[in-house]
Amino acid sequence: MSRPLPRSFFARDVLEVAPDLLGRHLCRDGVVLRITEVEAYRWPGDTACHARSGLTERNAPLWGPPGRAYVYLCYGIHNMLNVVTGADGEAQAVLIRACEPVAGLEEIERRRGGATGPASLAGPGKIGQALDLDTGWSHHPLDRPGGLFIRAGDPPASIATGRRIGIDYAEPEHRCLPWRFADAESAWVTHRRALRPEGR
Partner DNA sequence: CGTCAGATGATC
Partner DNA sequence: ATCATCTGACGC
Closer residue to DNA (CB): 50 or 68: 50
Cβ atoms of 40 and 96 closer than 8 Å: no
Closer residue to DNA (CB): 89 or 199: 89
How far is residue 104's CA from residue 162's CA, in Å, rounded to a whole number? 30
Residue type, 74: C
Q: Residues in the site for DNA, rule: CB under 7 A?
A: 39, 41, 48-50, 53, 56-59, 62, 72-78, 80, 82, 93, 95, 119, 123-126, 135, 164-167, 169, 190, 193
Q: What is the largest CA-CA distance in the chain?
A: 44
Closer residue to DNA (CB): 87 or 152: 87
Q: How far is the CB of 197 from DNA (least distance, A)?
A: 20
Q: How far is the CB of 28 from DNA (least distance, A)?
A: 18
Work out whether the CA dihedral 32, 34, 39, 42 comes out positive or negative.
Answer: positive
Q: List phi, psi (to 5°) of 147.
A: 65, -115
Q: How far is the CB of 75 from DNA (least distance, A)?
A: 4
Ramachandran region, residue 39 (left: φ > 0; alpha: ψ -120 to 50; beta: rest):
beta
Q: How far is the CB of 5 from DNA (least distance, A)?
A: 19
Closer residue to DNA (CB): 5 or 122: 122
